[in-house]
Amino acid sequence: MRRCVPALVLAALALAGAVPASAADDALSLWRENRLLVAEAALAATPKPYFQLDFERRRIALKTRALVLFEVPIEEYGLWGRRPAIGPTAIERRDAFSRPEIRPGEEKTQEKLDEQILELADMPTAYRIFLAGGVEVEVLSVVEGRWQRLRQRARLWRWRLSRPLVTLRQRRERREATTVYLVLRPADAQRIYWSFFEGLDGILVPPR
């Protein structure tokens, strides 16, 4: 017990912030900030919108000209595989969603109107997005209800337990990918699907 006391004191000081971060941490923060700013300066110079998937701050933002159009929090995430570099990326592909077809000459009733329009509430709350550089993102939504939550927990545990086997399969296929799951609030997941289209450029900020 007596041998543990200095370690406990040090731990307590560290928790209180009395022990300063190492110089290496400061340099890493500077470097990460630099990579992020360089990527954003390049994207903000164009008139196109871009996204920022920031695991460090746990936020996803849509921006244009360095202006935040909207931002949503990441409730929970998991990342497996090759750690992606901090920097530019793009949405290569996402799960498809079929558009309503307008039939010529059809009578316009309230019912038909609802069938023929696409709104935010029609967007999926669970889907996959494939980013450049082999990053596969599975978006899930926070669920309500005890059984639904248990099922989602079980699904996330299945995800975690299966990751090493996925790595083995990828190695056999001679590819390295990063797989990610994000849990968002349902309305936020729908908003992301609505606004993040294929070809949209962005910035990826992986966790430290």
Partner 1 sequence: MPEGEVVPAAPAAAPRGAVRVALATALKAFLVLIGLALAVFAALSAAGYYLARSGTGPAAPVVENAKALAAENQQLLKKLEKIRPKGQFLVVDTGKNRLTVRDGDRVVREVVVSCGSGGILEDPKGGRTWVFDTPRGERQLRSKAKNPTWIKPDWAFIEEGEAIPKKYGDRIEEGVLGDYALGIGDGYFLHGTLYTRLLGRNVTHGCVRIGDADLEYLYKNVPLGTRVYLF
Q: Does residue 157 interact with partner 1 by CB under 8 A?
A: no
**Only segment of 9-17, 135-143, 149-157, 166-174 that touches partner 1 (CB under 8 A):** 166-174
Q: How far apart are CA 203 and CA 88, in angstroms?
A: 4
**Of these, 44, 126, 132, 142, which contacts partner 1 (CB under 8 A)?**
44
Q: Does residue 194 interact with partner 1 by CB under 8 A?
A: yes
Q: What type of residue sits at position 42?
A: A
Which residue number, 61 or 126, has a Cβ lying nearer to partner 1?
A: 61
Nearby residues of 13 by Cβ (< 8 Å), 6 or more positions away: 19
Q: Does residue 100 interact with partner 1 by CB under 8 A?
A: yes
The answer to whether 86 and 30 have CB atoms below 8 angstroms apart is: no
Q: How far apart are CA 18 and CA 152, in angstroms?
A: 40
Query: Closest approach of Cβ 18 to partner 1, in Å?
Result: 23
Q: Going residue by residue from 107 to 126, which x/- string records binding to partner 1, judged by CB under 8 A?
A: ------x--xxxxx------
**What DSSP letter does each residue of 165-176 carry, written as one string?**
HHHHHHHHTT--
Nearby residues of 66 by Cβ (< 8 Å), 6 or more positions away: 40, 44
Q: What type of residue sits at position 142?
A: V
- Interface residues with partner 1 (CB under 8 A) are 26-28, 30-31, 33-34, 37-38, 40-41, 44-45, 47-49, 62, 64-67, 69-70, 80-86, 99-102, 104-106, 113, 116-120, 161, 163-168, 171, 176, 190-191, 194-195, 197
